[in-house]
Amino acid sequence: MADKLGSTSVINDFLSYSSVEKGLAKNTIAAYRLDLRKFQEYLELTDRNFGDVSSVFMDEFLGWLRGAGNEHEPGSESSNSRIVVTVRNLFKFIAISNRTVNPLQDYSPPAIPARLPKALSVNEVLLLIESAKFGDDKLALRNCALIEILYATGARISEVTSLKVKDVSQMQETLAIKLLGKGSKERVVPIGNFARISIEQYLLRSRATLLGGRGSDGLLLNSRGNNLSRQSAWAIVAEAAERAEISTHVTPHSLRHSFATHLLDGGADIRVVQELLGHSSVTTTQIYTLVTIDKLRESYASSHPRAK
């Protein structure tokens, strides 16, 4: 049998080092622990130990993670890749601690195929907004403002739920929203009339009622007068999508994807879209061009008389 006690001791040392010495977050340590539990499971299943680990072993382990001879549900490529990186970090720690050769020094995790973001059609966005107007008036006004802001700015959900009233301001002839993105990087995104009207209606007719006399500078509030949470915002979007009978899985991030895709479809410059999304590199934004190219290809194939 594989040396379970020995491997567990080494793994605990690695987790302790990652937490105390490297100062990694609790969530990261928890993810490491789950990843290495999978690794130990495979060691025990194949009756091997740390001394048997090599590049060939890792290829076999990866095949098992993908479902080969595995009774469990196969992992996604992103989770499989993360597990491989965690195991590689473990063996780097062992090699440094024991001054030995790292058998996985040159082993690379699997390349994750680029997944095209799923964008809603313009009609689906309109249906989503209309369905958000259902129910209690003060909550409906807030829900509609939430979805309008997400689609008008392409903001991440954490950026929207942390908005303050003062972040909405007049910029020349239009309304603009100041967003605080990753790395505390600020950006200002102008919004159109539909989003402006929705926000104004919410501020005029709903926010004070939700506030209930309590003090808060948050823009979007829950029924207790506190800032709307990310989880609640996800639920609002999901419920609106269900009422709108949209067949695809809809999340706040779907509206970010839709924002970028519809801008590029409309002829916006990719550098402008990069700035609006708050991407530090245009390379990240370029994935949306693949979506529009796919649409062009489909349109050509279905419309051109010599396409088939």
Residues marked as catalytic: 156, 182, 253, 256, 279, 288
Give the span between the Cα atoms of 239 and 143, in whole angstroms.
10
| Contact between 226 and 218 (Cβ < 8 Å) | yes
Q: At 218, which amino acid appears?
A: G
Give the span between the Cα atoms of 118 and 9, in whole angstroms.
44
- Other Cβ atoms less than 10 A from the Cβ of 225: the count is 17
DSSP class per residue in 108-167 = -PPPPPPPPPP---HHHHHHHHHHTT-SSHHHHHHHHHHHHHHHHH---HHHHHT-BGGG
Give the span between the Cα atoms of 171 and 134, in whole angstroms.
31
Calculate helix-pair angle for 252-265, 270-277, nearest 10 degrees: 160
